[in-house]
Structure 1
């Protein structure tokens, strides 16, 4: 069974679901560092945008009944691969021990001001 997860507390779009719950898994779409309350980017730095993107993922996971402790895999897409160290600096604060599997790649889409997009898969079942 497939359940679409949606919350107004994280940025969304009519073009994708914020997350889809299937069986015991929650698949969180790639979310960027936009603050849902203001509709603007959290800031110009990779650390600020990474922090907000992770907070957005956490919010969507909570709407699905999960937490960051349930995350088994994270995908990070960076506009500029040189931002990898700065992204890692903030990311390490969110997953300080026993982090999930992760990949990082270059973001192909051009979105004005956006530096990072983060997606997650969690197992809550």
Structure 2
């Protein structure tokens, strides 16, 4: 690990072999793309991308709590979809989650994601404040 970088994952989000969910560096938290798995690793939402997005935002909420951040401190969102037709349902979940907070958002349609189960993946960047100096 590089000095000034902290890698972490909350206990109530499914652990992933090979990486941590969050990298804290330079006053920002970079959150790995989240998919619709519950804490036990079960897929949530079936073929319904809106239901998958709802689980993704539950995971993001847990990650924000883990790093002591609020939704209003999210400064960037990227959403990857495998089906353009799912965009309205996924957008509804994003807007419901963030309320009046509207950080920059990039939406991408891709040929596929890490598993055939995954219809949507969301990653965020969060401003967590000025890093402490030694």
Same fold (TM over 0.5): yes
Q: Does residue 112 of structure 2 align to residue 119 of structure 1?
A: no
- Equivalent-residue separation in structure 1 for 2:106 and 2:45 (angstroms): 24
Give the direction of change, closer, same or farther, for the CA distance of 1:47–1:14 in structure 2 (3 Å limit).
same
Query: How far apart, in 1, do the equivalents of 2:7 and 2:67 lie?
Result: 9
Superposed, 1:84-95 pairs within 5 Å as 84-95=87-98
Query: Distance between the aligned counterparts of 1:39 and 1:98, measured in 2?
Result: 30
In 1, distance between residues paired with 2:93 and 2:102?
A: 13
Structure 2 residue runs of 5 or longer lacking an equivalent are 130-134
**What is the alpha-carbon distance in structure 2 between the residues aligned to residue 48 and residue 9 of structure 1?**
19
Q: Between Structure 1 and Structure 2, how many residues are aligned?
A: 124
Q: Where do 4+ consecutive residues of structure 1 move more than 4 Å?
A: none
Unaligned runs of 5+ in 1: none
Equivalent residue for 1:42, pick from 21, 24, 44: 44
Give the conservation status (yes or no) of the 8 Å contact 2:113–2:119.
no
Q: Using the alignment, how far apart are the partners of 1:60 and 1:96 within structure 2?
A: 18
Which is richer in strand? 1
- 1:26-64 deviation line (CA, Å, top 9, x unaligned): 00000101111x421222211111011111112112211
What's the TM-score once normalised by structure 2's chain length?
A: 0.85
Larger Rg: 2
In the alignment, what sits opposite 2:105?
102
Query: Once the 2 structures are TM-superposed, how far is the Cα of residue 112 of structure 1 from its aligned partner?
Result: 2.4
Secondary structure of the equivalent of 1:69? helix
Q: Normalization by structure 1: what TM-score?
A: 0.91
Matches within 5 A, 1:1-125: 1-36=4-39, 38-44=40-46, 45-107=48-110, 108-125=112-129
